[in-house]
Amino acid sequence: MSSLLHGITIGNVRLPSNLFLAPLAGYTDKVYRSICLSHGAALAYTEMVSSEGVARGNDKTVMLMERGEGEKNLAVQLFAPDADTVKRSLEGTMAYNPAIIDINCGCPVPKVIKTGAGSALLKKPETIAEIVRTIVENTSVPVTVKIRTGWNCDCLNYLKVAALAFDAGASALCMHARTRSQLYMPTAHWELLKDLKSHFPDKVIIGSGDLFTAEDGVRMLSETGVDAISYARGAIGNPFIFEQTKALLSGERPRVIPTSEKVEAIMHHLEGLVDFLGENTACREMRKHVCAYLKGVPNSARVRQEVTCALTVQAYRDALEKLEH
Ligand SMILES: Cc1cc2nc3c(=O)[nH]c(=O)nc-3n(C[C@H](O)[C@H](O)[C@H](O)COP(=O)(O)O)c2cc1C
């Protein structure tokens, strides 16, 4: 079991373990990335960042690439329809000194797809290769590519996409084991991760899909043979999942997180957001996180309801005090 937990090298970046935080739009800002890194994630991706927005110097876009506290290796995920757009964004991206640049080829959202970016790129694997080549030729930053298994079940082209991406110089490939049509349901097809890894035994393959608990993470590593795993929904409101996975993989029993520690984590998270965004915006942003942190906490329904209108740190404190510790 312990051999499943190991350091990993992506291009010239040496990472202490193979447990990553996935890119999550609306969640993996610099505050939450730092929190997950402090709980044992080895790498944390930004949410997808528009190359077009970066090229235009849009303030809200470039803010997504700010480095978090203690974030040694910043992994920026870009989305773009083509290599030209990515090229125009490279100067702006490099200003944030990323350790890794990832290309989003999996986003299923119509707004993104209709621009030709995200999972629309799965229909044009050569464009994915051009994007990778452009970054490789113009920077010294390792490139990772995040894909789905294909556009739909009639077009499972992950092996072709992976071959082209690696040929173009990608240092690692992450696959969310669902098609674009599947969105986020039903069950991810882990057997396709196993197939991908078996075709590229010498390349770094990162697995994504249905990692909701530390046990899921251990199972994905052992059943599929992927080199690393990337927690997404399972890490929302649960930064502890990284240390729990490490414990399991080291043959220890993972710690049950007491409510008091969850409350402390929520307040720490909120304070980080206040520093980043100001109190009002931070309190609004924090609502979705709190609901996730408190999932399964006994008698937390009322508190969750109260924070949906909390606009100050004090209002959060007052609401959380009502939890039974
Ligand atoms: C709210 C949300 C936002 C996401 N944002 C991104 C994103 O910005 N970039 C990306 O590549 N994937 C994104 N994903 C996909 C996740 O990174 C992950 O691949 C997917 O959720 C499957 O993992 P899971 O089943 O363990 O959640 C997002 C998923 C969710 C639920």
In tens, the pLDDT along 90-135 reads 999 999 999 999 999 999 999 999 999 999 999 999 999 999 999 9
- Quick check: 1 pLDDT over 90? no
Percent of the chain surpassing pLDDT 90: 97
Q: What is the mean pLDDT of residues 209-224?
A: 98
Domain 2-249 architecture = Alpha-Beta Barrel (3.20)
Strand boundaries in 214-316, DSSP class E:
228-231
Q: What is the mean pLDDT of residues 280-300?
A: 95
* Residue of minimum CA distance from atom 30 in ligand 1: 24
Give the separation between CA 47 and CA 55, rounded to whole angstroms: 17
For a substitution probing ligand 1, which of 65, 189, 208, 242 has the most ligand atoms within 8 Å of its CB?
Answer: 208
Percent of the chain surpassing pLDDT 70: 99
- 12 phi, psi to nearest 5 deg: -100, 15
> How far is C-alpha 320 from the geometric centre of its chain's CA atoms?
28
Question: Does the Cβ of 48 fall within 6 Å of ligand 1?
Answer: yes
Question: Does the Cβ of 207 fall within 6 Å of ligand 1?
Answer: no
Annotated domain spans of the chain:
2-249, 259-321
- Quick check: 25 pLDDT over 80? yes
Q: What is the mean pLDDT of residues 208-224?
A: 98
- Quick check: 249 pLDDT over 80? yes
- 229 phi, psi to nearest 5 deg: -125, 155
Determine the pLDDT at residue 2: 62
Give the separation between CA 91 and CA 275, rounded to whole angstroms: 27
Q: What is the mean pLDDT of residues 1-20?
A: 94
Q: Is residue 283 flagged as an active site residue?
A: no
Give the separation between CA 271 and CA 276, rounded to whole angstroms: 9
- 36 phi, psi to nearest 5 deg: -65, -40
Neighbouring C-alpha atoms within 13 Å toward the C-beta of 216: 19
Question: Does the Cβ of 77 fall within 6 Å of ligand 1?
Answer: yes
In tens, the pLDDT along 157-184 reads 999 999 999 999 999 999 999 999 999 9
Question: Does the Cβ of 210 fall within 6 Å of ligand 1?
Answer: yes
What CATH number is given for 259-321 in this structure? Answer: 1.10.1200
Average pLDDT, the chain: 97
